[in-house]
Chain A
Amino acid sequence: EAGVAQSPRYKIIEKRQSVAFWCNPISGHATLYWYQQILGQGPKLLIQFQNNGVVDDSQLPKDRFSAERLKGVDSTLKIQPAKLEDSAVYLCASSLGGQGHFGAGTRLSVL
């Protein structure tokens, strides 16, 4: 089966600019996660979707981050405006029954 696809792999922006990441999960996986992984730390859950509904966004900075999962398949994560502390790897994962399958991630550098 094809894995979780993410794009772009790398993105460099200046602070206060906007950026969007895209994720295509494994076909049939109802659950989709976006994680933020800052260098030297474990992944931190930003938002979790069950089909196209949000089940957990308690750690999403909603004043600048937004995410959507249209039709319960692909998802986009947006940051507007970006801050220096948003520099991190953004990981998308999908699952069917708890075990997560991760994409390669998008490395964001905010200058």
Chain B
Amino acid sequence: AQSVAQPEDQVNVAEGNPLTVKCTYSVSGNPYLFWYVQYPNRGLQFLLKYITGDNLVKGSYGFEAEFNKSQTSFHLKKPSALVSDSALYFCAVSSLRGGYQKVTFGIGTKLQVIP
């Protein structure tokens, strides 16, 4: 069975500092990896994805993530945090199962950027 782990319930970072939100995964075969952000009372918004190719993926709002196959990780990063980045972040893994994409989400990490 595939799974996603987000080991930190909450990450606190000062505005202007770099941020990292961690994600590790377990899947058979080649993974598709995603990061989503959720603001209060909103649905999930897509940030970025890794399908194949360059291990460093750049996405929306200045976020990026690095796919590390040996460590089965896909950590989300941003060089300089903004207060407006405060939200809930979800990592997801998808793999092909019986002709369809099976998607599994992590439990989420709350990012708090402190002014």
By a beta-carbon cutoff of 8 Å, the part of chain A in contact with chain B is 4, 31, 33, 35, 41-45, 48, 50, 55-56, 91, 93, 95, 97-105, 107
Would A56 and B100 be within 8 Å (CB), given that A42-B90, A42-B105, A98-B94 are in contact?
Answer: yes
- Pair A48/B43 contact, Cβ less than 8 Å: no
* Neighbouring B residues of A48 by C-beta, 8 Å: 100, 102
* Neighbouring B residues of A104 by C-beta, 8 Å: 41-43
Q: Does B68 contact A (CB under 8 A)?
A: no
User: Chain B nearest CB: distance from A65 CB in Å?
Assistant: 19
1/0 contact string of B29-57 vs chain A (CB within 8 Å) = 00010101000011111100101000000
Residue of A nearest to B98 (CB): A55
Would A42 and B102 be within 8 Å (CB), given that A99-B46, A99-B49, A102-B44 are in contact?
Answer: no
Q: Does B107 contact A (CB under 8 A)?
A: yes
Interface of A is mostly: strand
Residue of B nearest to A103 (CB): B43
User: Chain A nearest CB: distance from B69 CB in Å?
Assistant: 18
* Neighbouring A residues of B26 by C-beta, 8 Å: none
- Pair B105/A43 contact, Cβ less than 8 Å: yes
* Neighbouring A residues of B104 by C-beta, 8 Å: 45
* Neighbouring A residues of B99 by C-beta, 8 Å: 50, 55
CA distance A95 to B51 in the complex (A): 15
- Pair A98/B32 contact, Cβ less than 8 Å: yes
Would A105 and B94 be within 8 Å (CB), given that A42-B107, A98-B32, A98-B101 are in contact?
Answer: no
Interface centre among B36, B43, B100 (most CB of A within 10 A): B43
- Those of B76-115 within 8 Å (CB) of chain A: 90, 92, 94, 98-108
- Pair A98/B103 contact, Cβ less than 8 Å: yes
CA distance A33 to B43 in the complex (A): 13
Q: Other CB < 8 Å A-B pairs besides A56-B100, A98-B34, A104-B43, 6 of them?
A: A41-B107, A43-B44, A98-B32, A98-B103, A100-B103, A102-B43
* Neighbouring B residues of A50 by C-beta, 8 Å: 99-100
- Pair B34/A99 contact, Cβ less than 8 Å: yes
- Pair B90/A100 contact, Cβ less than 8 Å: no
* Neighbouring B residues of A105 by C-beta, 8 Å: 42-43
